[in-house]
Amino acid sequence: MSEINIIPLCDVLLVLLIIFMVTAPALSHQIDVDLPQTAPIKPVNPPDPIDLSIDASGQVFWNGSATDGAALPALMRTAASASAGGQPLLKIDASGDCDYQAVAKVLAAARNAGLDNIGFVRK
């Protein structure tokens, strides 16, 4: 016999057709879902960024004015706590000739003050 027996193939196709005919109405059934509504979010203006520069001698400048090492943690704590719209961005511009220790002290003071939004810039 050189012909293909297609009777089992027709049986499988008829079973699949019946399965799809039974499940198709269940898939198109709509389910009402009561989702919670969100309140509109008021846009909050972010605080102004803080420009902190470190020159080659290790002198720290807070927004352009020279600051000694003892006053720097207090300035950082007030900046971290005074901002209602989130933390300000602390932009650190370290001179290429400054010591790593000066940068590490500034980063440690920022972390201890609670400033997490820190970025390094090069002007």
Number of domains in the chain: 1
Asked if residue 105 belongs to a domain, the reply is: yes
Asked if residue 10 belongs to a domain, the reply is: no
Asked if residue 99 belongs to a domain, the reply is: yes
Asked if residue 92 belongs to a domain, the reply is: yes
Residue with more model confidence, 77 or 86: 77
- Render 44-103 in DSSP notation, one character per residue: -PPPPPEEEEE-TT--EEETTEEE-TTTHHHHHHHHHHH-SSSPPPEEEEE-TTS-HHHH
Asked if residue 110 belongs to a domain, the reply is: yes
Specify the CATH number for the domain of residue 108: 3.30.420.270
Residue 82 domain boundaries: 50-120
Asked if residue 114 belongs to a domain, the reply is: yes
| % of the chain beyond a pLDDT of 70 | 93
pLDDT tens figures, 45-77: 778 888 999 998 889 999 989 988 788 888 888
